[in-house]
Structure 1
């Protein structure tokens, strides 16, 4: 992958991280529940997507990406706990970790084949 594309992916990753953090601190919108644990599924999918984007930008840094995103998720839950209109939930953080744990072995296997 050309260096310019990788730089754009890195910039996009930072922008997405900032946007997600900002949105996580806004009052929670009313979202119809389609399945039980929907919010946890959303967390897992979001963090898997964040990891995919990060791995595209830094392909050989899976462990650092996972650790960084785990810290990011924890910081988000702490920040939400400090707002008047959101609640920090440790189960949300566990869902974040689940999304990472499900994705990273597949991403690593794909990278090893390249």
Structure 2
């Protein structure tokens, strides 16, 4: 992938990171962006972050080691901070949903990458 395309994925990932941080740390996030099930919110958010992250990074080590560890640390930090946010709670089960989302995002990105390589 070209560097300009990779840069575009980085910007998309950064925008998602900002949106997810706002939603996760706001005492009353907008209901219009809520699936109705907290764990699904976490899974979808982290799947999207992992998908964008996959395309923004260059090496397999960055994609398959650094990205998941960084996203897990981010998810853990969110849970710790939520303990101090009125109306929010720290639930470690959310980190489990984050982990599943990360795995799903990487799986989908990997399948797309493989398909694109075969078709070119």
Scaled to the shorter chain, the TM-score interval is: 0.7 to 0.9
| Deviation of the 1:12 alpha carbon | 2.5
Mapping for residues 1-114 of structure 1, pairs under 5 Å: 1-29=1-29, 31=31, 38-59=37-58, 60=60, 61-108=63-110, 110-111=112-113, 114=117
Inter-partner Cα distance in structure 1 for 2:22 and 2:35: 25
- Consecutive unaligned residues in structure 2, runs of 5 or more: none
- Consecutive unaligned residues in structure 1, runs of 5 or more: none
TM-score normalised by the chain length of structure 2:
0.76
How many residues get paired?
Answer: 112
Inter-partner Cα distance in structure 1 for 2:85 and 2:110: 37
Inter-partner Cα distance in structure 1 for 2:28 and 2:74: 19
Inter-partner Cα distance in structure 2 for 1:15 and 1:34: 20
| Deviation of the 1:16 alpha carbon | 1.9
TM-score normalised by the chain length of structure 1:
0.79
Inter-partner Cα distance in structure 1 for 2:57 and 2:12: 12
